[in-house]
Structure 1
Amino acid sequence: MSALRRTYLLVALFFVAVALVCTAVLLRQAAHDVQRELDAAQQVVDYLALSLRDEPQALAADLEQSLRHIRIERGNEQPAEPFDRPWLSRWLYPQVMPARVIERANGEQIRLAVNPDDEVEEVWDSLLQLLALFGLALALSLLTIRWAVGHALGVLEDLLGGLRQISRGQLATRLVARRLPEARRLAGHFNQMAGALEEAEAANARLTGTLLELQERERTRLAQVMHDDLGQYVAGIRARACLLRIQAEQPDAVRETAAHLERHSLDLQNGFRTLVRDLYPVMLEHLPLEEAVGQLVEQWQGAQGIECHLQLCGAIPAFTTEDKLHLYRLLQEALTNVARHAQARCVRLRLRGGAHGLRVLLRDDGHGEPPQRAGVGLRSMRERARCLGANLRLRHCPGRGWTLYLNLPCKGATA
């Protein structure tokens, strides 16, 4: 059953209940009034009966026509039933007094009895008027509800249809604003939600494309490193090993070739360590966060040639390995962005631990110009901050560099 039909049913039941109560009150009051009127009429009947016995001509024709609530019958035959008693008459006047019979000198009988028909008819007319009034009020109420609620139900139907289309992936769905102010506000909020979902889907599509591109770029870089650097070292080691067979009778040449092999092996080992560190910072599993960040700063400073000052304040909370990895990658990406885009000469990094968690401040002295569009680096930093449950803020000032604020509450740390 629809909401409109339920409303119709509830309103109809309410009107029926009120009508029944009013009918009961009306019948109760009417029974009291009818009883009082007919008691007075019974006294008139008794008075007329006494008057007719003493003076047979007391009941004149004009008086007979003006009597109300009194039934006068003339004749010698006694009727089996003086008058019909419908249910309303029996309800209003259950005890009917018997008719008074007067014998005239000429043998004619006059029967006088109380007749409640007029009073019952008045009560019946009042009851019909009351029920008609309630019926009219009910019809007007239902029409008003139909007119007033119809617009709201139309808005709900539009909203339901829009949500169905959104659930099917049709994010370009928009609601048409109706005349009601509430409907216009609802349509506005729905359209804003649909627009935000559409923008989020487009952003996710761009991010997915960027991640796929970055994945292919990373694979290309790894292939180049394996081929150009590590592959050359392996080729050199192989060439030196072949040369050893030729120089077997030349001790000095063997020693020189062995030294070359040792250097190539060391370079190969360092290359593998650098590659593994770029793929996954193994030191996070063995070192506290502050020492891992110290190594990151030292390696970045040596590789980029940019001065970086690390400041540790307070007791740094102990994080889970997963949270340490997110925080390490966030700082690594921030330093990479500084090296690529900021044109900075000095960077300051401060980690302040405390009872409320960890606060990170990274500031450079670069040009401070905003990027034309947010790259995958900034998006990955925001995503890692979201995984940490942290609040990440970025501020820039032209000519004074960029500043990164990261506030990681205690819920992201473990004791």
Structure 2
Amino acid sequence: MRLIDLSALWRINLWVTFCFALVTLACAGLLLHQAVADVERELQATEAVVEYLSDTAVRDPASLQPRLTQSLRHVRVHWLAADEAARIPAQAGLDAWLGRQLFGERHNSSRLLDLSDGRRVLIAVDTRDAVADVRDALQQLLSVCGLALSLSLLTIRWAVRRGMGLLDELLQALRQVSGGQLTARLREAGLPEARQLAEHFNRMAATLEQAQADNAQLTQALLAVQEQERTHLAQTLHDDLGQYLAGIRAQVCLLRMVADQPTVVEQTARALALNCERLQQGFRALVHDLYPVALQHLPLAEAFGLLVSQWQASQGIDCRLRVGEHLPLLPGASRTHLYRLLQEALTNVARHADASQVRVRLQRSAKGLRLLIRDNGCGASQPQRPGVGLHSMAERARSLGGELRILSRPGGGWALALNIPLEV
């Protein structure tokens, strides 16, 4: 994470520096443009001053004194010896180069005067003061921009370091969660954004921890249900079907012994037929518990009607089914999920609802198929923690691609609504 920290910090610094450089260049260009325009006006006025000083020196040489002309801006008065060349010493360095770039040779006008008092003087326009002004302005601009850039980079470094510290904690917590340590939590402190991030992460971790606990509990419940089903199957095979098979075997042996007694043979044959019929009924009930065979041979509405009538007969609870017309066709897997969901819902009503009346409605809706199951039982004010039955129904609804809603209120019973979207 530290490598990510440094990499992100360097990228941010480079982008900020690049932006400051562009802004500085733009400001420098504007400053130079304005400064050159201002200096051009000053130098034009300076040329008029040079002309005025020259005319004045010619008329009255005594008025032109060195102590009066040494502090003039943009004007250089250079006193020459009789044999000295008539030129101002050339300037070198940054100022001279900048002056040539900005003004060229446009303001190099000069006047060489031989005064009546014997002195010789050269009066000329000098751009060194103008260049110095432009240079000072550029230096001030660069200093301000450099100071602003430094402060910005320091502020960014502080902010990024602080933000990366939060990301370090978040990454460490995520590693703990991915490793199965769902008890990891973040400190809810610092900036509002950091507190909000920590709050959402802690809520997510708590939800995952609760889901893990629920899954463990459901796994244990499913294992217990599996063992109960196996025990029930073994008891059915041993106590019910096994006894019939033992009786049939004994009756077959008896037939061999009483073959010469027609009356006994007839009685034994009737007992054999009765035992075979009960054995067949037991196998049908067992197969029906394992798989709804009616779905293979009956339409969905008739299979639902058979299930409701059998449940009503076994539970003694009034249950009425209302099936709409023109139901959509469902594939085999979807029919099984829908049938099992109704079966599980009726089982929950018998176990927990304390109801005396149940209404089941299966009909086509605007978006697909709708199943509604309502009872007049005790209901509940708050949904209890979903058990194996509710989770089973939720998973079947998810397999159907539908939405399962369970509603209840004290004394108002339970209502289960399943909406299955179907393609038109």
Secondary structure in 1 matching 2:419: strand
String of CA shifts for 1:279-321, please: whole Å, max 9, x gaps: 0112112211111111112222333344433333444333222
Aligned with 1:90 (options 81, 91, 100): 100
Q: Distance in 2 between matches of 1:340 and 1:45?
A: 115
CA distance 1:81–1:245, shift in 2 (3 Å): farther
Aligned position for 2:404: 391
Q: Distance in 1 between matches of 2:304 and 2:68?
A: 122
Q: Counterparts of 1:303-382 in structure 2 under 5 Å? A: 303-368=314-379, 374-382=386-394
TM-score w.r.t. the length of structure 2 is 0.86
Aligned with 1:74 (options 77, 80, 92): 80
Aligned position for 1:102: 113
Q: Distance in 2 between matches of 1:49 and 1:19?
A: 43
Secondary structure in 1 matching 2:90: coil
Aligned position for 1:259: 270
Aligned with 2:234 (options 217, 223, 226): 223
Q: Distance in 1 between matches of 2:88 and 2:65?
A: 26
Q: Distance in 1 between matches of 2:45 and 2:405?
A: 95
Aligned position for 1:16: 21
String of CA shifts for 1:171-196, please: whole Å, max 9, x gaps: 22212112322222222122111111
What's the CA shift for 1:56?
Answer: 4.1
String of CA shifts for 1:185-228, please: whole Å, max 9, x gaps: 22212211111111112111211221122112211211111111
Percent identity (aligned): 51
CA distance 1:104–1:80, shift in 2 (3 Å): closer
Aligned with 2:66 (options 61, 70, 74): 61
The size of the alignment, in residue pairs, is 411
For the Cα contact (< 8 Å) 1:330–1:384, is it kept in 2? Answer: yes
Secondary structure in 2 matching 1:397: coil
TM-score w.r.t. the length of structure 1 is 0.87
Q: Distance in 2 between matches of 1:263 and 1:241?
A: 13
Unmatched tracts of structure 2, length 5 or more: 1-5
Counterpart of 1:32, as a letter, is A
What's the CA shift for 1:366?
Answer: 4.7
CA distance 1:37–1:340, shift in 2 (3 Å): closer
Aligned position for 1:25: 30
Counterpart of 1:31, as a letter, is V
Counterpart of 2:104, as a letter, is P
For the Cα contact (< 8 Å) 2:218–2:387, is it kept in 1? Answer: no
Aligned position for 1:38: 43
Q: Distance in 2 between matches of 1:69 and 1:278?
A: 112
Unmatched tracts of structure 1, length 5 or more: none
For the Cα contact (< 8 Å) 1:394–1:403, is it kept in 2? Answer: yes
For the Cα contact (< 8 Å) 2:57–2:63, is it kept in 1? Answer: yes
CA distance 1:307–1:28, shift in 2 (3 Å): closer
Q: Distance in 2 between matches of 1:273 and 1:177?
A: 62
What's the CA shift for 1:28?
Answer: 2.0
For the Cα contact (< 8 Å) 1:288–1:318, is it kept in 2? Answer: no
Aligned with 1:210 (options 221, 224, 227): 221
What's the CA shift for 1:231?
Answer: 1.3
Counterpart of 2:419, as a letter, is L
Q: Distance in 1 between matches of 2:335 and 2:151?
A: 70
CA distance 1:396–1:127, shift in 2 (3 Å): closer
Q: Distance in 2 between matches of 1:336 and 1:323?
A: 20
Secondary structure in 2 matching 1:77: coil
Counterpart of 1:36, as a letter, is R
